[in-house]
Amino acid sequence: MKRFVVIGLGRFGSWVARTLHREGFEVIALDTDEEMVDRFADEVTRCVAADGTDPAVLREVGAAEADAAVISTGEDLAATILATLALKELGVETIYAKVSSTRAAQAIERFDITGTIFPEREAAERMARRVSSTTILDYIQFGEHYSIQEMAIPDAWLGRSLRELALPRERGVQLVALYDVLTDRWQVAPDPDAPLKESDVAILAGSDDVLSQLTREVERVRRVR
């Protein structure tokens, strides 16, 4: 069983801790607020009212054996940095930290952590893309310039197969799944020879630039129609 350490039980940290625990993982959660610890004690493996920036405390609760850690100490950048250093001292290699600003992200990334999480910005970017386009149904960012987008099938693709379209070579995108809204069925790694239907929704992965260009092309066609 994988073990995760979550430092900070605010809204983000508590959601991460509870979700990991519901997925069947061992979760050790720490917060200096005893009220928060009492609130979530029954929803994780172990919940401790303690200072998550102290290496001795982290070692005592078993953090040294953790597969990964998530730091969610609100806007307290100093606490985030100290918790990062404490986890690294214990040998925890996979560390994610929630940040509240771009400057905070730049600061914490200097400590060579696995990644930063900026929930407000990510949610805002995702919503902006969804409300600004009639083509994009959903949007998930991964990496700095890449995303997965859920899109209606472009008219030019209807009746054609993935083999015929050759999307990775011709358009620089990969169609990773299809969802048929009529049958409520998913196809992961779809049949390359099956023709695409109007009821299909495509899950496409690629660079933001390429996917944005594809979206603009589809919307231009729809405006003309």
Percent of the chain with pLDDT over 70: 84
What is the Cα–Cα distance from 56 to 103, expressed in whole angstroms? 29
Residue type, 104: A
Report strand pairing: 26-31 vs 46-49: parallel
pTM here? 0.59
Q: Return the C-alpha torsion angle 154, 160, 164, 165, nearest 10.
A: 0
Largest CA distance in the chain: 66
> Is the model more confident about 196 or about 120?
196
pLDDT digits (tens, 9 = 90+) for 11-53: 888 988 998 998 889 999 999 999 999 999 999 999 999 999 9
pLDDT of residue 109: 82
What is the Cα–Cα distance from 105 to 173, expressed in whole angstroms? 29
> Rounded mean pLDDT of 127-139?
43
> Rounded mean pLDDT of 133-140?
42
What is the Cα–Cα distance from 225 to 32, expressed in whole angstroms? 59
123 has pLDDT over 60: no
pLDDT of residue 90: 95
Is the distance from CB of 62 to CB of 69 less than 8 angstroms?
Answer: no
| Domains along the chain with CATH numbers | 3-117 (3.40.50.720), 122-224 (3.30.70.1450)
pLDDT digits (tens, 9 = 90+) for 150-198: 787 888 888 999 999 998 998 888 888 888 878 878 888 889 999 999 8
pLDDT of residue 144: 61
Structure token digits, residue 12:
């983000």
